[in-house]
Structure 1
Amino acid sequence: MTDHPAPLAPALPEKVVIVLAAGLDLGQAANASACLAAGLAAPQSTWAGQPLRDADGMLSAAISHLPIIVLTADAARMAQLRERLAQPAPDGAGMTLFPAYAREIHDAAEYWTRHRQTSHRDQPLLGVGLAGPRRWVNALTGSLPMLR
């Protein structure tokens, strides 16, 4: 028996949003969305990935337990968002970036090195993933339209 309480599961965010740069082709938008969603969910084991087995015994992993809204932003709105991302995030908030240069990199270690060496304040972004309190996410994304 231990005298340490069991760790609490991290609270699920109130809202999850992915913002994509306007003008991405379908493949680029799908790739950026998948990468951003994976980056947001990875540190939060309660979001997705729980083992599931169907009636025939096929094992799979659960999809996200949270709705993920995909929005789009033109270049000016994406630049405004990028500037506001430098503000401190509230507790429990998470963010992922998909900088334009990432499209040319096909090795994770190379990307991690480039990301660490780059100031993203002036980098064009193809996408941003946000998860956290509804008020914070809404303040950053405003009235951006859904991806269509």
Structure 2
Amino acid sequence: MQETYKTFLCRWAIVVAMTSPAVPTVPLPAASPRFDTKVVVLLSDGLTAWQELNVTSFLMSGITVSAPGLTGQPYRDGDDNVYLPMLRQPVLVMTAGAALLRAARAKATARADVAVAVYTRELFATGHDDANRAAVAAVGADDLDLVGVALRGPRNAIDRMIKGARLHD
């Protein structure tokens, strides 16, 4: 069974408290909200580190604009510097083989309530947005050489689509 975001944070907080008593603490909210949707980035097995980061960042830029209200409020530090808002909910980054990426894309595009972003191998060789769109448009959906897929939709539907994927390590 996969570890949840909340469980990971709790375990991390316990380890930090036990091993570093002098570390200042930041109060966490009393209860983490449960989101009706889930956001997942599926990465192809075998990508290099720079490719994983590149694919994840591009895919998440698509997810953040897939519906209004997905980002929170701007951040502000103690000196009153303002920073851009970020996605309001956790993002799972997982890895899977080519067959699972293709199946997840196909299932997601068949549903109106799931947002999908794709990244194909050809996009590593392009240099701008128009070239990226042309590279995707040149290939039929079933023949896309997917190296990443991002999904946002109902939790149970996304869980079924990514069954068999592994948490990225």
Partner of 1:24: 47
Match of 1:8 in 2: none
1:89 aligns with 2:111: yes
- Conserved 8 A contact 2:37-2:154: yes
The Cα of 1:104 is off from its aligned counterpart by 0.8
**2:124 paired residue number:** 103
- Is 1:34 equivalent to 2:57 in the alignment? yes
Structure having the higher Rg: 2
* Stretches (4+) displaced over 6 A: none
Task: Give the Cα–Cα distance (whole angstroms) in 2 for the partners of residues 49 and 108 of structure 1.
Answer: 26
Deviations 1:68-114 (A, max 9, x none): 0011002333343344345x2143x2000001111111111121233
Task: Identify the residue that residue 60 of structure 1 maps to in structure 2.
Answer: 83
Count of matched residue pairs: 135
The alignment-based identity, stated in percent, is: 24
CA contact under 8 A between 1:82 and 1:121: conserved in structure 2? Answer: no
Look up the match of 1:139: 160
**Runs of 5+ consecutive residues of structure 2 not aligned to the other structure:** 1-34
CA distance in 1, matches of 2:106, 2:70: 28
Give the SS at the match of 1:121. helix
Q: Deviation string for 1:104-131 (max 9, x for gaps)?
A: 1111112123323431311210100000
In proportion to residue count, which structure has more helix?
A: 2
Distance 2:71 2:124 in 1: 26
Quick check: 1:13–1:131 contact (8 Å CA) kept in 2? no
Question: Given residue 52 of structure 1, which amino acid in structure 2 is its aligned partner?
Answer: Y
On the 8 A contact 2:98/2:147 being kept in 1, the answer is no
Q: Distance in 1 between matches of 2:116 and 2:99?
A: 20
Of the two structures, which has the highest relative contact order with CA contacts closer than 8 Å and spacing of 6 or more? 1
| Residues 32-63 of structure 1 deviation map (CA, whole Å, 9 limit, x = unaligned) | 01111111112334222632322201110122
RMSD, matched Cα: 2.0
